[in-house]
Amino acid sequence: MRLYNTLTKSLEEFVPSDGSTVGMYVCGPTVYDHLHIGNVRPVLVFNALRRYLEAFHGWRVVYVQNVTDVDDKLINRAAETGQSVEALARTYTDAYFALQDALGVERPSASPRATEHIGEMVELIARMVDNGSAYVRDGDVYFRVSSVEGYGRLSGRSLDEQEAGSRVEVSDRKENALDFTLWKAAKPGEPDWPSPWGRGRPGWHTECVVMSRKHLGERLDIHAGGNDLIFPHHENEIAQARVTSDKPFFRFWMHNGMLHMGEQEMHKSLGNFRYAYEILEKHEAETVWYFYLSRHYRKPLDFSDEGLDAAAAAVARVRRLLEDADSELRGDDGPPGTGGRDFVRKLAKFRDRYVEVMDDDFNTVGGLGVIQELVNEINRFRAEATGEDRRALREAAALVRELGCPLGLFQRQAAADRGCEAELMDLLVELRGELRRRKEFALGDRIRDRLAEVGIVLKDSPQGTIWTKNAP
């Protein structure tokens, strides 16, 4: 498989360093607000990549995504709303996981929180101070950019260029305008922790170095995020990694393009953004996956309601075929006739083509194209095939589902094929929702409490109610 590596600016052959397990680290959210639709892109793209590597290459993927739960943004928002930073972080961490569940995204293998790793960050910063790659100024600690060779390689900026560009930011505390903060001295009312330089808190760039090494060990295969993180965040991660270890840091750096709204790049600061949960109020999760993956991950994606409607129509077309095939063949388990078997053999080339395009820098646009062509082919067969040959539709539908799986698509079985329990649970959740809308909360709570007694937990969120089984 070939992937574009931002570090070398070229397509490179990818295989996990130990041959079987891929270590992936994707920079996660700063939990001071709900995710907006731009934040959702890396979540979907890199989860799809994870699923694809597992399902079609047979590699195990250890997928780590951090949660930044202490940061200027959190501190400012907490002050504005009169909450504690901790409570604010908890609220939006829960909302983040509820959104992942509503989208049908698999949970990461680990979701380390910054605040759970402060001691290890202090240790790493102390090592940098000791070896001269960092310096202390009145309780703040800065990274000395001139101490690391090759700074700017990832972002493709030379040090001179960057210095000229950022001269306005020069502060007399820093030796160099590009030196970045590793530790911030405590200010009154802010969360703080002890350190050799006095109480304070770590800067954002250190947490991903510490948490990726801790949770992936030597499996530093792919580090991913939005391309707005290339500079300074990822550049600064690499710089810290270089001065604190002789071992190589991540081999592959992958970055997704930004979302555009109309003519402009979408930015929270410009106000031209929407929250992800708002999209899920109008559209099914599958539509959202289809929409995001219908553009190559490195290109900018134009967000529009028309685009989402087109995605919904494309999903519906495939789903119609799958549901029809399921219902036509219900209770008919026999093997297909000769004509049907020939047809199934012919379908193998679609799987090959799918792998070929997806292996080419994770071209999900091509992957979706192959699925739509496959559906055309199946529809043609369906229009002509008769008798036992029609049983080939079962395998054809299974292939569509197999190819859709990494892309978050077509995993929903026709209602009658789903487990009875899942059907009953959906019904109970629906009834409870109706009761709550009628303000019959006591009855709604009784449903929730009785379900809890049998180990089923209901979780309410802005995206609706989800149910999960407690581990026995």
For strand 464-469 and strand 456-461, is the pairing parallel, antiparallel, or unpaired? antiparallel
Mark the segment that binds Zn ion (CB under 5 A) among 83-91, 108-116, 201-209, 458-466: 201-209
Rounded distance, CA 342 to CA 358, Å? 26
**Smallest separation, CB 180 to Zn ion (Å):** 13
Token readout for 109 is 């293998």
Distance in Å, CB of 211 to Zn ion, minimum: 8
C-beta of 27 vs 385, nearer to Zn ion: 27
Does 224 bind Zn ion (CB under 5 A)? Our answer is no
Footprint of Zn ion on 27-56 (CB under 5 A): 27
Q: Where are the beta strands (DSSP E) in 257-373?
A: 259-261, 264-265, 301-303
For residue 208, the minimal CB distance to Zn ion (Å) is 3
Burial code (b: 16+ CB inside 10 Å, e: under 16) for 264-296 equals eebeeeeebbebbbebbeebbbbbbbbbbbbbb
Considering only the stretches 20-28, 186-194, 213-221, 382-390, report the one whose residues sit in contact with Zn ion under the rule CB under 5 A: 20-28
Q: Which stretch binds Zn ion (CB under 5 A): 19-27, 191-199, 283-291, 439-447?
A: 19-27
Cis-peptide, bond into residue 472, ω within 30° of zero: no
* Smaller CB separation from Zn ion, 227 or 364: 227
Separation of alpha carbons 391 and 15, rounded Å: 38
Q: What angle do CA 409, 415, 418 make, to 5 degrees?
A: 80
Based on the shown chain and the rule CB under 5 A, indicate whether residue 78 belongs to the binding site for Zn ion.
Answer: no
DSSP-derived 3-state class of residue 261: strand
Query: Can residue 208 be called a binding residue for Zn ion (CB under 5 A)?
Result: yes
CB of 60 to Zn ion, least distance (A): 23
How many Cα neighbours within 13 Å face the side chain of 42? Answer: 24
Give min distance, CB of 445 to Zn ion, in A. Answer: 41
The C-alpha atoms of residue 369 and residue 297 are separated, in whole angstroms, by 15
User: 35 or 308, CB closer to Zn ion?
Assistant: 35
Nearest distance from C-beta of residue 68 to Zn ion, angstroms? 8
Query: SS3 of 216, please?
Result: helix
CA distance 225 to 255: 5
Residue closer to Zn ion by CB (options 26, 375) is 26
* Interactions with Zn ion, residue window 425-444 (CB under 5 A): none
Cβ within 8 Å of residue 345, ≥6 positions away = none
Contact criterion met (CB below 8 Å) for 457 and 467? yes
Q: Judged by CB, which is closer to Zn ion: 74, or 368?
A: 74
Give the pairing type, strands 21-26 and 60-65: parallel
Residue type, 300: P
First to last CA, the chain: 39
Of 208 and 230, nearer to Zn ion (C-beta) is: 208
Pick the piece of the chain touching Zn ion (CB under 5 A) from 125-133, 206-214, 311-319, 381-389: 206-214
- As a whole number of angstroms, the distance between CA 275 and CA 278 comes to 5
Residues 312 to 331 in contact with Zn ion, rule: CB under 5 A: none
Closer by beta carbon to Zn ion, 27 or else 428: 27
Environment class of residue 169 by beta-carbon count within 10 Å: exposed (0-12), middle (13-18) or buried (19+)?
A: exposed
338-358 and 392-404 helices, crossing angle to 10°: 10
List the one residue out of 365, 356, 298 whose CA is nearest residue 6.
298
| CB of 89 or CB of 208, closer to Zn ion | 208
Q: In the complex with Zn ion, which residue's Cβ is closer, 118 or 261?
A: 118
Among 23-31, 77-85, 175-183, 316-324, which window interacts with Zn ion (CB under 5 A)? 23-31
Of the listed pieces 8-16, 107-115, 204-212, 464-472, which binds Zn ion according to CB under 5 A?
204-212
Least distance from Zn ion to the Cβ atom of residue 399, Å: 38
Compare residues 254 and 396 and give the one whose CB is closer to Zn ion: 254
* Cβ nearer to Zn ion, comparing 208 with 308: 208
Number of residues forming the site for Zn ion (CB under 5 A): 2
Per CB under 5 A, the segment of 69-77, 137-145, 205-213, 415-423 that binds Zn ion is 205-213
Shortest Å, Cβ 249 to Zn ion: 12
The nearer residue to Zn ion, 67 or 208, going by C-beta atoms, is 208
Task: Compute the least distance from the CB of residue 27 to Zn ion, in Å.
Answer: 3
Q: Which residues, in sequence order, are bridge partners of residue 231?
A: none
**Residue 1: which of 253, 363, 367, 373 has the closest Cα?**
363
The CB density around residue 142, as the number of other CB atoms within 10 Å, is 23
Q: How far is the CB of 76 from Zn ion (least distance, A)?
A: 20
Instruction: Compute the least distance from the CB of residue 254 to Zn ion, in Å.
Output: 13
CA pair distance 440, 329, nearest whole angstrom: 43
Chain residues in the site for Zn ion (CB under 5 A): 27, 208
